[in-house]
């Protein structure tokens, strides 16, 4: 006997079934017979809908999304800065490894940046 995988339903279908269940015009048994899905699915979708509806119109949700967007923008800004620093360090390292001019203007270790008196 083959084991069947569970059916995956589309979001629009789940929404329609959950709204019918919340509406109360039909019983869960009637909805199940019409849509050919299990009663546990109908109850689960109905409970999820009822759980998420209050948050849909909540001010906190909008504020939380704005805060997330601000944080995301700040993190992208920091990533950009770190990339620039990383590239500069790569360039400085590669000039040292090739024997090129150092970042201090080609002065050797013992030389001072002050003019000779």
* Mean pLDDT computed over every residue of the chain: 81
Highest mean pLDDT of the ranges 4-8, 76-80, 112-116 = 76-80
Percent above pLDDT 90 for the chain: 38
Domain chopping of the chain, boundaries:
9-57, 60-94
Query: In terms of Cα–Cα distance, which of 87, 9, 96, 35 is closest to 27?
Result: 35
Give the end-to-end CA distance of the chain in Å, rounded to a whole number. 97
What confidence tens digit (pLDDT) does each residue in 11-51 have? 999 999 999 999 989 888 999 888 888 999 999 999 999 99
Helix (H) or strand (E) holding 93, with range, is helix 59-97
Task: Identify the pLDDT of residue 100.
Answer: 56
Residue predicted with more confidence, 5 or 74: 74
């Amino acid at each position: 006997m083959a084991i069947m995988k569970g059916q995956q339903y589309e979001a629009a279908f789940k929404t329609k079934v959950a709204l019918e269940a919340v509406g109360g015009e039909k019983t869960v048994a009637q909805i199940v017979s019409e849509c050919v899905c299990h009663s546990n699915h109908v109850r689960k979708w109905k409970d999820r809908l009822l759980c998420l509806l209050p948050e849909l119109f909540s001010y906190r949700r909008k504020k939380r999304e704005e805060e997330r967007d601000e944080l995301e923008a700040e993190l992208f800004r920091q990533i950009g800065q770190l990339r620039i620093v990383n590239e500069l360090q790569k360039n400085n390292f590669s000039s040292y490894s090739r024997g090129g001019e150092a970042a201090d203007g080609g002065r050797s270790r013992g030389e001072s940046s002050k003019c000779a008196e």
